Amino acid sequence: MGRSDEVYGADVTTNDFINYKVMQGQHLYYIDNVRYEIFSSYTDFSQDAFMHTFFDFIQCGFSNPQIIDEQFCVKRTDNTRLLTKGTSVNFTVKNMWNYLYLVDFTGNYSEPQYYNKSSCIEIGLYYMTAGGSWGYVKGNSNSRMLFCDEPEAMSFYVEIDSIPEDAYQLCFSVKSDIKTAYGYGSDVYDKLKNSSYCIERYGGGSFMTVEVNKGLPVEDDEVEEPEDDTILGWLDSLFTGIKNLPGNISKALKSSFDFLSSGISNLGNVFNTVGDGIKSTFSSIGSNITNGLSNLGTFILDGLIGLFVPSSDYFEDYVERLRGFFEAKLGFLYAPIDLVVEVLEALNDANPQNASMTFPELKFQGYTVVESREFSFSDISEEFDLQEYIYFVTDIILVGAVFNLFQLKLRELIEG
């Protein structure tokens, strides 16, 4: 790793955003034609932000221009608080890279892991000291990684119980040879070779900490104070007891009333249950009678329909049987009938989407000079929305022609 001015390669454009606001940060890029590394540090986090989004945009001007962008999100939920001071070393991060797809993994990890499905990935979570040494960090049992095929997304969730005191940076690294796909430029498919994200200890504070309380309120984290067993402590507890006496009496009264009201409410529930039982019995009898009558009506109606009208498949089968019989018996005499039937079917199934022309391939001494190509007319008409206008014009012409024929025929009839 090095500093931001140590950029190898050609033109490199970078931008860092946190919640779409450009942030100052340290950037490090080791770039050659096939590899790059990213180092970014962020020191200013909003306490009340719902989500911090770290967005790196890198454009490398090599002979084959590559555009890579990535997102790194730390989400905040209702039971989450962000801390920037204190000595807590809990570290909970949800991270997501789009356009990756891999395998499923749950459990601890403390060093880079390799997973294989369609490709290889290496994920590392490590710390660095100010002196430049480093080591892997172990996630606890809540840590997990999830790689999804379908949405082409990867996420991992890390909780760290403890990290060394002299840790200066916490870093995630993801190394992979999986394709990332972005729709920019001509050479838009690039391989994510190596990326790492680091969060730096700043100004003597802790790492950015995201604590997630799994179903427990934040207040549960409060530390209980140890009891004082001296006389002053006993007097203090006595005065505290006297001070809290009215509150305790009101709490006791409230709990008594709560008990009584819950008893009454339970009695009401019993009556409700009995009433519901009676109601449901009568309603089930009524619904059975209604259903029975309805079923009888349906049965009679279906029987009458079935008596006169054959099933829809019958007519199709009947026509096919007749066609097969006459084709076999009448032989060449049936050919014109078959021709007419096929033309009528073609007229019925006519589809402008199928109107195409195939230009044959051109070969010279065994080498294909021009490959065969299919030209579809519907592509042009769809491209310029021509189809509707063509139909509009021809519809008017056809209807006009029919009216013209009608008035000619009518005149012919009237004039005798």
Partner 1 sequence: MIIQGLLDLIYNLLTSLFGWISLPALPKEINDVLDKFLECILGAVDFAALLFNFDLLKILIPVVLVIIYLDKVWKLVMFILKKIPFIDIH
**Per-residue burial over 276-297, b = 16 or more CB atoms within 10 Å of its CB, e = otherwise:** eeeeeeeeeeeeeeeeeeeeee
Please tell me whether residue 267 binds partner 1 under the rule CB under 8 A.
Answer: no
Please tell me whether residue 377 binds partner 1 under the rule CB under 8 A.
Answer: yes
Question: For the chain, how big is the Rg over CA atoms in Å?
Answer: 39
> Of 218 and 405, which CB lies nearer to partner 1 in the complex structure?
405
Q: How far apart are CA 191 and CA 182, in angstroms?
A: 11
Q: Of 354, 370, 372, 379, which one interacts with partner 1 (CB under 8 A)?
A: 354
Q: Segment 288-317, which members bind partner 1 (CB under 8 A)?
A: 306-310, 314
Please tell me whether residue 405 binds partner 1 under the rule CB under 8 A.
Answer: yes
> Of 235 and 341, which CB lies nearer to partner 1 in the complex structure?
341
Q: Of 260, 270, 350, 369, which one interacts with partner 1 (CB under 8 A)?
A: 350
- Which contacts of 183-189 are long-range, i.e. CB under 8 A and separated by 24 or more positions? 184/67, 185/65, 185/67, 186/65, 187/64, 187/65, 187/66, 188/67
Q: To the nearest whole angstrom, how small is the minimum distance from the Cβ of residue 370 to partner 1?
A: 22
Q: Of 355, 370, 373, 389, which one interacts with partner 1 (CB under 8 A)?
A: 355
The size of the chain, in residues, is 416
Q: Of 3, 321, 363, 373, which one interacts with partner 1 (CB under 8 A)?
A: 321
- Which contacts of 2-8 are long-range, i.e. CB under 8 A and separated by 24 or more positions? 2/28, 2/30, 3/28, 4/28, 4/29, 6/30, 7/31, 8/32
> Of 136 and 318, which CB lies nearer to partner 1 in the complex structure?
318
177, 193 Cβ separation under 8 angstroms: yes
> Of 107 and 324, which CB lies nearer to partner 1 in the complex structure?
324
Phi, psi of 399 (to 5 degrees): -65, -40
Please tell me whether residue 264 binds partner 1 under the rule CB under 8 A.
Answer: no
Binding-site ranges for partner 1 (CB under 8 A): 306-310, 314, 318, 321-322, 325-326, 328-333, 335, 339, 342-343, 346-348, 350-352, 354-355, 377-378, 381, 387, 390-391, 394-395, 398-399, 402, 405-406, 409-410, 412-413
